[in-house]
Amino acid sequence: MATLFLNKSDVRNLLNMAEVIKAVEQALRDCALGKAKMPPKAYLVLEQGDFRAMPGAIPGAAGMKWVNVHPQNQSLGLPTVMAIIIYNDPATGYPLAVLDGTDITAYRTGAASAIASKYLARKDSHTLGIVGAGRQSYTQLMAHGELFDLRQIKVFDRRAAAVETLIKSFSAYSIKASSLEETVDSDIVCTVTPAREPFLKSEWVRPGTHINAIGADAEGKEELDPSLLKKAMVMVDDLRQAAAAGEINVPVRNGLFKVEEVYATLSEIVIGKKQGRKDKKAITIFDSTGLAIEDIAVAKLVYDKASKAGGYLSLDFV
Amino acid sequence: MATLFLNKSDVRNLLNMAEVIKAVEQALRDCALGKAKMPPKAYLVLEQGDFRAMPGAIPGAAGMKWVNVHPQNQSLGLPTVMAIIIYNDPATGYPLAVLDGTDITAYRTGAASAIASKYLARKDSHTLGIVGAGRQSYTQLMAHGELFDLRQIKVFDRRAAAVETLIKSFSAYSIKASSLEETVDSDIVCTVTPAREPFLKSEWVRPGTHINAIGADAEGKEELDPSLLKKAMVMVDDLRQAAAAGEINVPVRNGLFKVEEVYATLSEIVIGKKQGRKDKKAITIFDSTGLAIEDIAVAKLVYDKASKAGGYLSLDFV
């Protein structure tokens, strides 16, 4: 037996968004059918940052992502978030692979959003608004590009250079640097910021819009005007995670929104247990916190491709 | 920046029991002084086995051990337990190393036992009894050999071949294959079995004995006659872990022993907050469940030696 080691560039070269979307959708299906396991994340909170252990299993695959968030890393020239995934054989526990998990995280987050948009956005959605032009915005765009005919993309970020870089990276698309309000005036809106104060005003959102609220991933983070939650259909990826650290966490704590008001989990919608968009005028919101089973599903995809291709670093490790 | 990869043989060659004992004792000290962090383990329980994520941090070091227990692996020629440790810089989260954690686990478990014996066994202890001659018994013997003048070692295991192999592996010591009752008639006794029924009878234990109860590490596991707990001073490494999965877990569940009857944690004794052995006739018991901070302390030791020595596999990984 041997363990495969796949670093950042190995993983990046093996990732394909269309395949990732399929793998993530299957993991959501497995989850709703009770075939997946995902214990709560374990948090290690230190002075300068924190770490999360995210264990998960789907049929045929098990493992764990260990990921840090150190906000001051940018000033040191290091990524804020770095992740390693240990990928195991569920039958024996053998560690089949150790993979860089940073791009896997970004890809699965983009994929989950696009899957939410597939079930919740209007079928005739052609405009995509992206608020926040950081690292996570790229995979939001890529994933939506796989599932939608995007005729116009609008991007807002206070950092003009970040918007410029994003636009240059996707030359095949028509992308326009826009104001925040213009960006929100889109069929599908993805919010991908580290905001701790709601910036997206309820009155800017036109009927029929679908919003993927991606940014909030820790207690105290919040992107949307909480009154928007009251007039929208709210979906989450995981109810416990969303209430603790997702877009709804602050409104739930403040008593402005109740956990019981969440309409469904995305996985319930994927298997048809709950209906997706019911009416053209509805505003729908997907509160994404990121699931360990999504990471494991993509790790399996990457591992399967790498072992089939051969030529990657393989060690007798444990 | 780069990540160091240390496989089983790298780690084994870098491990030194005297150094491990010092590092583990320092971690226990840090723990008692509130300088360590150790959130609860996250369990991923599957059909054929389970996995645990064990995050922890001590001053200057952070990380996580991911370890499986698959009881049926022996029939497949695979280890039952395999562990990988991700070792991080606490200040930036950078993954400094990925290490095989299997030997680190065995060494730190032996070290914790010997530290318990140092504070709890009689100073004139010269006989060591080991019940169970599996993998974990080797480091129990090695660690006690560092801290005690062992004139006689007795070993019991139903598998005579395992006893024979252990004896041959430690030719410098006087080791005798013994009956269970003879083995328990020792100054220090280490129980290192996967028992689910108490096998060590209270009446066999003479006054003044110290017992390290190592085997119980999951709900339902138990090695000692519960009446022994009532007449002994009981120490634990971690109260929450011990009550859930250590030697006291079954008696606590059955109402035969109360969590409040635990005298102290080992770390409280190490810093002198609680007194160790008070009287020559007392029976003392250390209920060991294994601490993430012990793993991280030893990972730091191994990492520091490896990076100083150089020549190990180093990759630009994340």
pLDDT in tens, B32-69: 999 999 999 999 999 999 999 999 999 999 999 999 99
Q: How far apart are CA B253 and CA B81, in angstroms?
A: 26
pLDDT in tens, A155-195: 999 999 999 999 999 999 999 999 999 999 999 999 999 99
**B65 counts as catalytic:** yes
pLDDT score, position A252: 97
The structure's pTM equals 0.95
Inter-helix orientation angle A135-147/A17-32, to 10°: 80
pLDDT in tens, B91-145: 999 999 999 999 999 999 999 999 999 999 999 999 999 999 998 999 999 999 9
Tokens 């692996």 appear where? B73
Ordered domains of chain B (ranges, CATH): 3-104+293-313 (3.30.1780.10), 121-290 (3.40.50.720)
Mean pLDDT value across residues B303-308: 98
Residue A71 has pLDDT above 90, yes or no: no
What is the chain B residue with the closest CA to A50?
B93
Q: How far apart are CA B317 and CA B315, in angstroms?
A: 5
**Contact between B24 and B111 (Cβ < 8 Å):** yes
**Chain A residues touching B42 at Cβ < 8 A:** 39-42, 53, 55
Which tokens belong to B190? Answer: 């280490």
Which tokens belong to A286? Answer: 């997907």
Task: Write the CB contacts of B164 (distance below 8 Å, at least 6 apart in sequence).
Answer: B177
* Three-state SS at A54: strand
Write the residue in B1, B84, B92 that is nearest to A95 by C-beta: B84
Q: How far apart are CA A169 and CA B166, in angstroms?
A: 62
Do the Cβ atoms of B93 and A45 come within 8 Å? no
Test the A interface: residue of B92, B135, B315 with most A CBs within 10 Å? B92
Residue A218 has pLDDT above 90, yes or no: no
Task: Write the CB contacts of B213 (distance below 8 Å, at least 6 apart in sequence).
Answer: B191, B223, B224, B246, B247, B285, B286, B287, B288
Do the Cβ atoms of B318 and A84 come within 8 Å? yes
**Contact between B31 and B296 (Cβ < 8 Å):** no
Q: Active site residue: A41, A65, A118, A221, which one?
A: A65
What is the chain A residue with the closest CA to B55?
A44
Residue B74 has pLDDT above 90, yes or no: no
Nearest to A81 by CA among A55, A101, A107, A99: A101
What is the chain B residue with the closest CA to A39?
B44
Mean pLDDT value across residues B5-14: 98
ipTM above 0.90, yes or no: yes
